[in-house]
Every structure is written in C-alpha cells, then in structure tokens.
Amino acid sequence: MSELGEAIKYCKLHDVKTHITLNTLIKDDEFEDAVRLAVDSYNLGADAFIIQDLGLIEYLTENYPEIPIHASTQMTTHNLTGVKQLENMGIKRVVLSRELTVSEIENICKNTNVEIETFIHGALCISYSGQCLFSSIIGGRSGNRGLCAGPCRLPYSLISENQKLDKGYLLSPRDLKGVFSLPSLIKAGVSCFKIEGRLKNPEYVGIVTRYYRKAIDIVYNNLDKSNEEILELLSQEDSKINPNTQMTYLDELKQSFNRGDFSTGHLNDLPNKNLIYKELASNTGFYLGRVQNFKESKGYITLKLENPLSIGDKVSINSDNYTISELMKGKENIRFTKKGDIVTIGRIKGNIKIGQKLYKIQSKILNDDISPTFEENKEFRKTKLNITVNIKKNQNISVVIYGKYNINYSLNIIPEEALNLPISKEAIISQISKTGKTPFEFENIEVNLDNGLFVPVKTLNELRRNTLNKLEEEIIEKEIKSRNLKFKEPSYNFKNEEISSSKIISLLLNIFDENKDYKEILDGIDKLYIPLKYFVINDFKEKIKALSSKFNLYIYLPSIIRDNLKINFDNIVENFKIKGFVVSSISQIDLVKKYNLELIGNYTLNVYNRYSVKALKELRLESLCITPELNDYDTIKLISSSSLSLELFSYGNIPLMTMNYCLLGSSNKCYKECSRLCDSNKKFYLKDRLNFEFRILPDNFLNLTTIFNSKISSFDTSLFKANSLRISILDESEEEIKQIIQNVKSNIPFKGNKYCGHFNKTE
C-alpha cells in the first residue's frame, strides 16, 4: 500500500488519474479484503475503481457513494439497456464490450449519461470478456479471476465428420488498431480510450501511447473538419518518418507488437474476415525472410532480408527469440542492413530448418529512442501552470499561480534599488522558467515589474522553489489528505432461503431437435429451458406450444442480445404458455420484468458471493444458477448462505466461450458469399493438440458461436444440498436423455473418459 500511495502521489503531481483494477470475481472469504482495499486506495487518492463483481459494485455504491466506480469490460456490457441498468446502480463509467461497432457505441453515448470507455488498441479476446470459462474449466485458471492461461492462443483444427476444414491458431485474433475510428468515436461522445497493455514491456507502452496521443490531438484540433478530412490527416501522420529511428510512425507501432499486422476488430459495420491470424499467436513484428542456409556448427543463418536488421535487434524463429550480436554481409561484419541485403546472422542455436520464417520482434534503434522516457531521471510530462510574478517597490516579492490550483506566495524580501543595471522582465521569466526535474512547467508567465529594481538570481530561485513546494503540498492536501473514508466491516447477516426438500430438475435443450419426441423422453423434469431463437422461428412454433402444455416452459435468453437484434417479446409471451425467463445478462432484466413471470439468473451472471446474490434478488430475480467455476468448498458455502434458491449445474458440456465470430465463415458477421455451413446438419468441432474435441455451435440468428467443453461434467450432487439441479443437453440421444434424467434424480454421476467431475478444485 505504501508503494501504491507513492505511485498515486506521483500521478497526482503530473495531473494523471489513477484507476485501480478490482475487476475480478470475489469470493465470500475475500470480500472484506476487497472492500478494505477499495477504501484504503481511495484514501490514498485513487480516482476510480474498475470492477466486475456485481456484489462488490452493489456494496460499494450503497456504503461508499464517494467512491467512483467504473464497470469493467468483464461485465459484458454490450447494449444500451445494460448501460442504463448500470447507470441506475450508480456506475460513473462503463467500459463496453470490445465486440460493439462504432454505430452501436454512438447510439449508447447519445442515450445515456454515464461516461463511455472503449478499447482502441491492443490484444483482443476472441470471447466476449466475462463469458469465457475455457482456461478455468479445462485448466483450473480462471480468466474471471485474472489467471487466464490463454488457450485461445493455441493451435486447433476445425473438423466435421472426421474431415479437416481448417487449421492453425483459429481462436487468436490480430491486435486491434482503431486509430481510424477515432474521429467517429470522439464525435459520438466516448470519454476515454483504453489501450490493452497486459504483460507488455515499457517500450510498448511508450511507443503506443505516444502514437495515440498524437492521433487523438489531431482529431481534437480538427473537430470542425469532416471525418474524411481528419482521416487524411491521420494517414499523413502514419507516413511521417521519425528522424531518430528513420521509421514511419506506423512502422514503429507495428514493431512494438503485432500479430500478423493489425485489424479493425469489431468496430466496423462490415464483416471482418481479417480478424484472425492463423499462422502465429505471438508477436510477429516484421517479417525478415526465410532461412536459405543454416550452418549448425557455427550457428549461422543466411537469408535475404525483406526488412532492415541491426545489431541489438531481437528476432524470433520457430518460437525461439534471439538478440542479434553478430551480423555479416559476405565476410564483412556489419552493424546495419537494408531491405534486399543477403546477410548471415551468427550465434543462432536450435532446431533450425531451411525455409523457416524469421521475424524481427524488437528494434534496438526504436527502443533507444523511446527508453529515455522511462529510464532517465527526467520529467517528460509536466503539469502546465500559469503564474504572475510581482516585483514592486516597497513590497515583498510575490507570485500567484492560477488555474486548476490557486497559490499565493511571497518572500519576506523587498527588492532593492538597482545601482547599475536593473533586472528585466526577460531575466525574471528566464529564471522562473527553470523548473528542472520538478513535475511542473510554467506555460504562461506574467511579470509585474517596477522600473529600476534589482533582485538577486538566488532570490528568484528561492521564490520559484518555495512556490512549487507549496503547490505540491496544496495538491497533496486537496487530492489525498482531504480524503478520510472510514472502513466499515461488511455484514454477512443475510436471511437464508429455506431449501425445499423436494428436488427440482431443470433441463436445457441447447439444440431443439424437431425429430425428437420430447414429451416422452423428458418425463420427470420440472422446468424446461428452450433457447430464445426457437421461439421466433416459425418451424418450431407448434412443437414448442405442445411442450408448454406438459412442462413449465422457460425462455432461455442468450448471454448476448445486441441492440440491433429486435425481439418482439410481447408476441412470444402472447403466443406461448411461458412460465418465466432464464436471464443471462443484467441487461435483460428490464426487457422482461414487465411480464411478471419468474426470472431465473443464469450462471453467466458470474455469481461468486452472497452480495451478488443479494444484488440480483433486489433486481427481482427469484433464483440463480451458480457459476460452474466455483470449487466444491465455495459452492457448498454459497448454497448454505444464499438469500435465493440456487440451481446447480449437474450434467452437461459446459459452454467455454461465447464469441462474436464464426469459425465456419471466418468472419465476425454473416455475409452473402458465405457457404452457410451453419445451416447444415453437420456437427463441428475444434480439435486441440491432445486430440480433445470441443463441440462448436454456430448461431446465425444471434451472430454468436458457442464452444463447449470436450468432456461432460457429471458428479454426485448430494454433496451440495442444492434443491435445484440443471441438466444441459447438447447432442445426446433420446435414450441417453432418459438415463441422464434418472441418474441426476438419483444423484448418480456418470463415469468414464468422456466425463469429468466438479470444477477448479486446485483454485
């Protein structure tokens, strides 16, 4: 905390805001620490807190309204109703899902009063943030807990009926470069742009922030121009050459980090068929060429260069990295090269083969240009001040700083009459301007000087030094020391929901197969969940109506419903005998609560603690499905203390990812020329390096793809004392479904290689 305090103080003196990321899901036994951390950090001067956990948000807004809270992108806020819901909860800023287009963002900005923050550059997750359980379920490392192992950056094969359709890094997006969306987003009203920088080095931070600072300033300085004119200015800036590196600013951006160049992500309305880079999941930097010759004994690689290379650069080949320490052209040792040179690189060891590709992933010249901004003991960013210096006869020398902070300071020194040359305004300005290594600089200096006076240089230095010291004290007093929130220990005295002795069995049909006789095979279940899309497709209307006469029927809402998807819920409720809704996002509560039907919270709401249960109960939910990420101990603990009835995921393939991307059409949107394999009756899978096959379910109605776990989760539910159990059906046969229902009712788990038990025991 002392280090955090020093960091915040440093930022305050440089007029930089600090936002603390508390954007992971919080367990009950961590909740008090999380609240204490928020209160203590706020008292140290933190400006805002980026949070994912609904319970933590609800508790802080209720008990500490002074603390500004920003909704993390991990909350999967992807539509206007979601933003409005968070606005009603007291959120000050919402970081939108990265999948939204500029037009969707503009619509949200125009119809809400909260600040909107969007991603503008850097690594993209292929899954909607907050809706990815891949790393968690298969490896016990939860992305919702900041522990993602990055399975999306591994190679896969896309297969169907033992036929390989595609292969490579099929889930690895190119990094986002959204610079050409800046004019539209700024004019739309976006308050803040986020650059993704997780695990990046300081050079990356320096290069990328320098690039976007310039670009944003260009937009702001030309807001009176059309977007087309501003885009031309941005293009011209991209092409400018930095005289220190002899690289264009665009090439510097690429050299800092890229995966097969950049893409526009999801910002454009048109389909992005360039989203994924299948060849490599790591930084490609600049392509240098293919290995033409390799002398293993000496470690010599020979190739023809597609881009310049220098001593000190870092290169990558076959996923191994090397720093160039020996470079030859013919027999001559050289330090620099140019495109087209045939060169030999020395001291390269490893499993090198002719034809392999070589990439330059770091440039020493570029790093040398940017490194002084974080290595030298020099202030590159300073808080700009306005100052008036008063040197008058028979008055103490004084100054006034005005603007964001107002400071009056005077020395107990009266200026002397000049014996020879009186001091000039220019001399005073020159001396006062010497702010050196302080975090301040004077942008405007006004001098009120009487004629014929003399002031020693040391007096002006003392005046400047003491004034800035006083200013620093004023900033710390106003921004930090004035804060004094008192920590209040959270109370856990919730009224527990009485658990019914009767067991409720819920069954979800991920795929509604019109050839199955569900009336017969689903005998014995209490609730039937059918996905939303089947209620709006006429082909299924009569069959679903028939089921509603026998079962308690619920509309299973997807975790993502974009604003451009217009659903007539009035018509659905009128035409079907609906018992309730399974709500998969808090944005959906306001869409359906007016029907006064039962609302069941889905596991996608990521409920980890009792405060989240309490928050959702206050939003009118009547029961919740527990996240499958919790381990046995935390699941039992949450069930035993919940103020709502909790449903337990007891059988099925856990959905691992929800993506705004179609693996079959290789695009983030449907398009005319697509072969529409998604309309076929074929089953599609992703096969990993260990030959596990993950079922994928494309949905062109919702423009979503879901990836399911390769193994079925099945376990003895009697351990958890939950009265409500969920069965999730994907591709099971009629006989299998009957047997599953009987096993779950009898607490009999399935066993075998295709089954797995409960989740995340290690965490």
Three-class SS string for 604-644?
A: HHCCCCHHHHHHHHHCCCCEEECCCCCCHHHHHHHHHHCCC
Q: Tell me, what's the pLDDT at 761?
A: 45
CA 217 to chain centre: 24
Map out the domains of the chain as residue ranges: 1-69, 286-375, 383-481, 504-654+712-756
Element (H, E) at 4: helix 2-13
Which parts of the chain have pLDDT scores under 70?
A: 492-501, 758-763
* Nearest CA-CA partner of 654 in 63, 1, 132, 121: 132
Q: Tell me, what's the pLDDT at 501?
A: 62
Strand spans (E) along 324-433: 327-329, 332-333, 342-345, 357-362, 383-391, 398-402, 407-410, 416-417
Q: Tell me, what's the pLDDT at 498?
A: 64
- Asked if residues 661 and 276 have their Cβ atoms less than 8 Å apart, the reply is yes
Q: Tell me, what's the pLDDT at 377?
A: 79
Q: Tell me, what's the pLDDT at 715?
A: 81
DSSP letter at 478 equals I
Element (H, E) at 187: helix 182-188
Q: Round to whole Å and give the CA distance between 407 and 410.
A: 10
Domain 286-375 superfamily per CATH:
Translation factors (2.40.30.10)
pTM above 0.75, yes or no: yes
Q: Round to whole Å and give the CA distance between 232 and 241.
A: 16
- Three-state DSSP class for residue 461: helix
Q: How far is CA 222 from CA 105, 116, 202, 229, in A?
A: 21, 22, 30, 9
Question: DSSP string covering 567-581, please?
Answer: --HHHHHHHS---EE
Same fold, 286-375 and 504-654+712-756: no
Q: Tell me, what's the pLDDT at 289?
A: 97
DSSP letter at 306 equals S
- Asked if residues 697 and 508 have their Cβ atoms less than 8 Å apart, the reply is no
Beta strands 314-317 and 357-362 are antiparallel
C-beta atoms surrounding 571 within 10 Å: 11
Phi, psi for 41 (deg, rounded to 5): -70, -40
- Three-state DSSP class for residue 477: helix
* Nearest CA-CA partner of 406 in 390, 427, 385: 385
Domain 504-654+712-756 superfamily per CATH:
Aldolase class I (3.20.20.70)
Q: Tell me, what's the pLDDT at 721?
A: 79
**N-term to C-term CA, the chain:** 25
Beta strands 357-362 and 286-290 are antiparallel
Q: Bridge-partner residues for 649, per DSSP?
A: 726
Q: Tell me, what's the pLDDT at 762?
A: 40
C-beta atoms surrounding 280 within 10 Å: 18
Q: Tell me, what's the pLDDT at 378?
A: 79
Q: Tell me, what's the pLDDT at 381?
A: 85
